[in-house]
Amino acid sequence: MTFATLALADGTVLTGQAFGAETDSVFELVFNTSMTGYQEIITDPSYRGQGVLFTASHIGNVGINLEDDESAAPQVSAVVMRALSPVVSNWRASASLTDWLGQRGIPGISGVDTRFLTHKLRDGGTQKAALSTCGTPPEKLLQLVRDWPGLDGRDMVKEVTCAEPYRWNGDEGNRWVENVKRLPGSSVDQFKPDNRKTGKLLNVIAYDFGIKENILRHLASYGADVTVVPADTSAAEALALHPDGVFLSNGPGDPAGLPYAVAAVRELIASGVPLFGICLGHQLIGRALGAATYRLKFGHHGGNHPVQHLPSGNVLITAQNHNYCVSPADLNPDEVEITYKSLNDDSLEGLRLKNKPVFSVQFHPEAAPGPHDAQRLFGEFFQMMKANPA
């Protein structure tokens, strides 16, 4: 058995069993409360620079398959868990979690008290941490933690965005995307996209700040011809592609470290093109409208976060993954409607412009493996594009 050492910035040191790669890693440690979907979580680019502590006690039993990745490789810096399954038992599995992480340079530690760690992060806030699976002593790990600059103010998007524009030619999400169901009290009727049947695809430009593949599946499934562009694409370059709408993706890190993206979003808003943002894309819209963003104490990470749709009063269970939030006090109420709030901490979870075709949400309506309460938001985006004059 190979031992691993986890050191936190406050001096806490834990030992456990090593799995995955034999290496050292420094990161921001966050906890995720999802009960399923560890492969999707580990491959989510929004986790760049972070180590994920799973609150679910048993991880790895379904192995890794070739279909459920949200990006081409693991994006987390480390994996922390209570118990690693010694057996892989799923007909779709092509590798074990430990072999897959080992081949891709990601270390893991199991056999630690994840309840203790979760309480520590929840009560004291997110911490910097370091993990060694190759015998590095605790005092050196603590020095690595102290020397690491952290994520605040850094541009982490440049590490995950695409290098060149490309057209999404992957599947249309038929195995992942459900029919959108009408929510009680909603003004949005059941939306069944017919663009695929008629061949009249809408031209959607998707900014890649760390985009998840299930977002691209949803856009394609609803009837979009999707072109993905790098994060530093200017508004003029995006508009030159004559989009019916522009999508702003999720992504890692601090939105304050992306002034070039905020400038582009501000110009896109002014252009009148329909605009839909998720997660980091939502935060960039907020900053483009003049709002500050701030760090949450321990972030929102998991698949069980309740948010309320304020116009209707309906409550959705959502998937979330973010450490930063838009300040609602900075938004002009004459121009911006707050559409969603978190029922855990009252933080802003969605907004809509009153006089322009622009809306955004902090949560993930495309969530894989779920929940699927908010999938209808893609339908709203397509309705908005269809209603917008050319």
Residue 182, pLDDT score: 36
Least confident of 175-184, 252-261, 267-276: 175-184
| 3-class DSSP assignment, residue 215 | helix
Tell me how far apart the alpha carbons of residues 109 and 23 are, in angstroms, rounded to a whole number. Answer: 12
Q: Is 279 a catalytic residue?
A: yes
C-alpha to C-alpha distances, 32 to 51, 270, 335, 350, nearest whole angstrom: 10, 37, 35, 21
User: Which burial class, exposed, middle or buried, applies to 118 when counting CB atoms under 10 A from its CB (0-12, 13-18, 19+)?
Assistant: middle
C-alpha dihedral sign at 47, 29, 55, 314 = negative
Does 3.40.366.10 match the CATH number of domain 3-147? no
Residue 93: pLDDT over 50 = yes
**Catalytic position from the list 70, 213, 279, 300:** 279
Residue 185, pLDDT score: 35
Model confidence at 277, in pLDDT bands (50, 70, 90)?
very high
- 3-147 against 157-387: fold identical: no
Please confirm whether the linkage preceding 371 is cis (ω < 30° from 0): yes
- Chain centroid to Cα 331, Å, comes to 23
Superfamily grouping for domain 157-387: Class I glutamine amidotransferase (GATase) domain (3.40.50.880)
Residue 348: pLDDT over 80 = yes
Q: Which distant-in-sequence residues (6+ apart) come within 8 Å of 329 by Cβ?
A: none
Percent of the chain whose pLDDT exceeds 70: 92
Tell me how far apart the alpha carbons of residues 211 and 162 are, in angstroms, rounded to a whole number. Answer: 9
Residue 197: pLDDT over 60 = no
Residue 235: pLDDT over 90 = yes
pLDDT 10s digits, 104-142:
999 999 999 999 999 999 999 999 999 999 999 999 999
Q: Which two tokens stand for residue 306?
A: 């309740």
Which residue in 217, 170, 220, 169 sits closest to 195, CA to CA? 220
Provide the whole-model pTM: 0.93
Residue 329, pLDDT score: 97
More confident residue, 176 or 122: 122
Domain ranges of the chain: 3-147, 157-387
Model confidence at 389, in pLDDT bands (50, 70, 90)?
confident
Residues 112/19, Cβ–Cβ less than 8 Å: no
Residue 273: pLDDT over 60 = yes
Q: What is the dihedral of CA 341, 342, 346, 351, to 10 degrees?
A: -30
Q: Is 366 a catalytic residue?
A: yes
**Catalytic position from the list 218, 366, 372, 380:** 366
Least confident of 171-180, 231-240, 276-285, 301-310: 171-180
**Catalytic position from the list 28, 364, 372, 380:** 364
Per-residue pLDDT, averaged over 283-295, amounts to: 98
Model confidence at 205, in pLDDT bands (50, 70, 90)?
very high
Tell me how far apart the alpha carbons of residues 37 and 304 are, in angstroms, rounded to a whole number. Answer: 12
Mean pLDDT (the chain, rounded): 93
